[in-house]
Amino acid sequence: MSPAVHGADFHMPARFVYRYRWRLLGWLLERHDSLREAFVRSLPGAVHRELMVTERIVEVPYVLRSLRLPPGSRVLDVGSRWSTLSLGLAALGYRVVALDLVSSPIVGAGPDVVQADIRKPPFRRGALDAAVMISTLEHVGLQAYDARSGENDDFLVMEELRSILRPGGLLLATVPFGRGGAGTFQRSYDGKRLRDLHGGWRAEDLRFFVRHGLLWREATEEEASKVDSARVTQAVALMTLRRP
């Protein structure tokens, strides 16, 4: 069976994946939801529906739980195009800036939307109380996403974020974790590169989660370091860092 992911333009914590017995059937049904559901019910051998739970199921709650700031605090969401997180943060009363390299569909929905490169942020020094960066850093500098490529541009991002946060400002970030290396679309961070990212920051919390069947469970760093996340994320590191 050939798989096809069905979902909106936003990356959600869980979505349905459809597997088709014949590739042509998938091509015919992919844009016809009602007809596809009829096939799922009447011909499950031809079209099979599965639930896929992504790493967002642990990343988003971690950010919402860890961002303990008063309403009105200025929060930057880095890499916001495919996420609804900035909408949730705005609903909680934060003054949110949603930043991405590409244009965003959430203009006018609450957050201030900025199309810019975080390596050259259009903010003054110390302007922000916090920044959140969910599964974004691993893409920076890779040619599949970025016309400007650089092997160590993720470190440049960390430096720029430190400059635009106020002293004592928070950074909540998540990245794929496991054996170090880079695939076409993302980096996988090992323990050394992850801690190198912390240079100049005060680390307050560091947690690891691994994929476990359809679910995700918390794990030790040693457990998480054994998987390969360079192609598909199998483990994530979740960090709370503070600017000194």
CATH number at residue 227: 3.40.50.150
3-state secondary structure of 170: strand
The string of pLDDT tens digits covering residues 123-140 is 999 999 999 999 999 999
pLDDT at 106: 62
Of residues 9 and 83, the one with the higher pLDDT is 83
Are residue 114 and residue 189 in the same domain, yes or no? yes
Instruction: Say if residue 102 is in the same domain as residue 177.
Output: yes
pLDDT at 171: 98
* pLDDT higher than 90, residue 183: no
- Of residues 149 and 225, the one with the higher pLDDT is 225
Q: Domain check: are 41 and 60 in the same one?
A: no
- Verify that 31 and 102 share a domain, yes or no: no
Specify the range with the lowest mean pLDDT, choosing from 105-109, 176-180, 198-202: 105-109
Confidence at residue 12, expressed as pLDDT on a 0 to 100 scale: 67
Q: Which helix (H) or strand (E) holds 88?
A: helix 85-91
Say whether pLDDT at 42 is over 90: no
Instruction: Please indicate, yes or no, whether residues 75 and 43 belong to a single structural domain of this protein.
Output: no
**Which amino acid, one-letter code, is at 174?**
T
Question: Do residues 194 and 228 share a domain?
Answer: yes
Per DSSP bridges, beta strands 165-176 and 128-134 are parallel
Contact 121, 156 (CB under 8 A): no
The pTM is what? Answer: 0.83
Chain position carrying tokens 């009105």: 72
CA gap 182, 150 in Å, rounded: 12
Examine the domain organization and report whether 101 and 162 are in the same domain: yes
Burial class (CB in 10 A: 0-12, 13-18, 19+), 44: exposed
| pLDDT at 2 > cutoff 60 | no
- Of 8, 4, 11, 2, the C-alpha closest to 174 is 11
49 and 63 in a single domain? The answer is: no
Cα angle 98, 61, 238; round to 5: 85
- Total residues belonging to the chain: 244
**Whether residue 91 sits in one domain with residue 49:** no
Count of domains forming the chain:
2
pLDDT of residue 1: 44
Residue 4 predicted with pLDDT over 50: no
Work out the pLDDT band at 102, boundaries 50, 70, 90.
confident
pLDDT confidence of residue 187: 93
Domain containing 30 equals 2-53
Does residue 146 sit in the same domain as residue 235? yes
Q: How far is CA 122 from the centre of its chain?
A: 22
Nearest to residue 216, comparing CAs of 231, 198, 197, 229? Answer: 229
Which stretch of 52-61, 197-206, 233-242 has the lowest confidence by average pLDDT? Answer: 52-61
Residue 133 token pair: 């960066």
Per-residue model confidence (pLDDT) at position 76: 97
pLDDT at 74 over 60: yes
Mean pLDDT of the chain: 88
Last residue of a domain, one of 33, 53, 73: 53
Q: Which residue has the higher pLDDT, 40 or 174?
A: 174
97/74 same-domain check: yes
Tell me, yes or no, whether 75 and 32 share the same domain. no
